[in-house]
Each structure stands twice: as structure tokens, then as C-alpha cells.
Amino acid sequence: MKKLVVFDLDGTLAKSKSSLDHEMAGLLGRLMSVIKVAIISGGAWPQFETQLLTHLPHDERLKSLSLLPTSGTKYLQYDGTWRQLYSEDFSAEEKAKITGALDKAFDQSGFRPHKYWGELIEDRGSQITLSALGQDAPLDEKKTWDPDFAKRQKIKALLEPSIPEFSVGLGGTTSIDVTRRGVDKAYGLRKLEQVLGVPTKEMIFVGDALFPGGNDYPARSTDAVCIAVRDPEDTKKVVEVVIACVEP
């Protein structure tokens, strides 16, 4: 019997940078009442608050939820308030190196847009993220920019040789995430194992980027059962099946 269900956020539980819809919020509420749940995302903590937490039930069920922002480089649990257990933050020198390398690779790729919305490169403390159309780009623009990940694969190939000591992953619809090497979704699952005492073989991981190079892909290196989904509608079906299997 599985004891923990772990989800990616953008593209899995909700559309990119969008809030959970009413149906998904209800399903997660039901799920948290019968099994432990965790969410690992490339998004920063403020994104978790606005995109996720404001739509979930604010009751004892939150004690069944673990949150791991910025690809698992932070870990928060609820005990009446959200408490941070760890944060793998970069030094100022590391941030400067990564930001410079991202800028250069973006220029070399030829994909830097003439029009963008908000910051292109965001410092999330423990992760540096390139959002190719800006942090506040409209979803319709983002969905058509790189649907097959080919543009970001090219940027990634240009970027990696200049920062070999860091990990580079593709997430969301336009994002490239840089974290410390070895700090990724697999790292997050192993942290969950340590903190919750749940072996990875007793976990289910659900994500939309479980392909090679995707920021969910490292989860496949663990013993967790990995379920690839296309979008939140797919995820709802997975949640319904899990609830049916574990609900008393």
C-alpha cells in the first residue's frame, strides 16, 4: 500500500502560474483526508501561497501536506503555521555566475523575445529561474512558445557547459530552473523519506515533465512509482483512482 502521493504543481495540478480550479482543490482536500500528500515545484513560496494554499481547506488536513518549493530546495510543514525545515540557498557569487551564464546562453540561442512580461531571470534564493517570456507572461503566449521543449533544450545545451557544478532542468511552459547539483525532485523525494519516514518505494510521484531533461525526470531515479500526466485534467483522474483505492 502506498503511503504518500507527491505532485508537481505547474502543468500537473494547475495550469502554469494559475490557481487550482475548484474541482482540483476539492479532490486534494479529499486526498489529504486519507493519505499523506506532498507538492514539489520549481515555483517559489509566494507562488505556492497564491496558486495553491488559498484554495485548499484550512483545517487539520493541512498537517498531512508537505510543501517543497523551488524544485525541492526548500521544505515546509504545517503545525498551525507553515514552518520551513531547510533551504539550500545559493551564495551571492553562485547567483552571479548562474545569472550571467543564463543571460549568455539565452542570447546565444537566438530565442530572446522582443516582447516579454516581467522578469526574465528570477532569483528564488535556492533556485535561479529563466522564464523565457517573463514571469507574468499570459498563459496563451506561454503555451505556444515552446510546446515541444525544443527551444529550451537548445538553451540548456548551451548553458550546461558553463555551469557544470549545477543542475539544469526544464519546467512549466517556458522555464529553465538551475539548482545545486543533486538538489532536484529526487532530492526532494529523499528528503520526504527522511522527514516523514516513508520509503520512496511507498510513494507515488505525479508530474507532467517526467521525460529526459524535464524537471520531474529525476524522480524516476528513485523507487517511487512515477505517473506521467499531460495536464491537470489527467491528474484529476489519477487522484480519483488513488482516493478510490485508499478511502475507507
pLDDT at residue number 158: 98
Q: Which CATH superfamily is domain 92-180 in?
A: Eukaryotic phosphomannomutase, cap domain (3.30.1240.20)
Q: Which class for 133: exposed (0-12), middle (13-18), buried (19 or more C-beta within 10 A)? A: buried
As a whole-number percent, the residues of the chain with pLDDT over 70 amount to 100
Q: In angstroms, rounded to a whole number, what is the distance separating the alpha carbons of residues 243 and 227? A: 15
Convert the pLDDT of each residue in 69-98 to its tens digit. 988 889 999 999 999 998 889 999 999 999
DSSP character string of 128-184: EEEETT-TT--HHHHHHH-TTSHHHHHHHHHHGGG-TTEEEEEETTTEEEEEETT-S
User: Taking the domains of the chain in order of start, what are their residue ranges?
Assistant: 4-88+183-246, 92-180
pLDDT at residue number 33: 96
Q: What angle do CA 43, 38, 180 make, to 5 degrees?
A: 50
Secondary structure of residue 111 in the 3-state scheme? coil
Annotation: CATH topology of 4-88+183-246 = Rossmann fold (3.40.50)
pLDDT at residue number 171: 80
Taking the model in full, what pTM does it have?
A: 0.83
Convert the pLDDT of each residue in 105-133 to its tens digit. 999 999 999 999 999 999 999 999 999 99
Convert the pLDDT of each residue in 158-183 to its tens digit. 999 999 999 898 888 899 999 898 88
Per-residue pLDDT band for 140 (boundaries 50, 70, 90) equals very high
Residue 213 has pLDDT above 90, yes or no: no
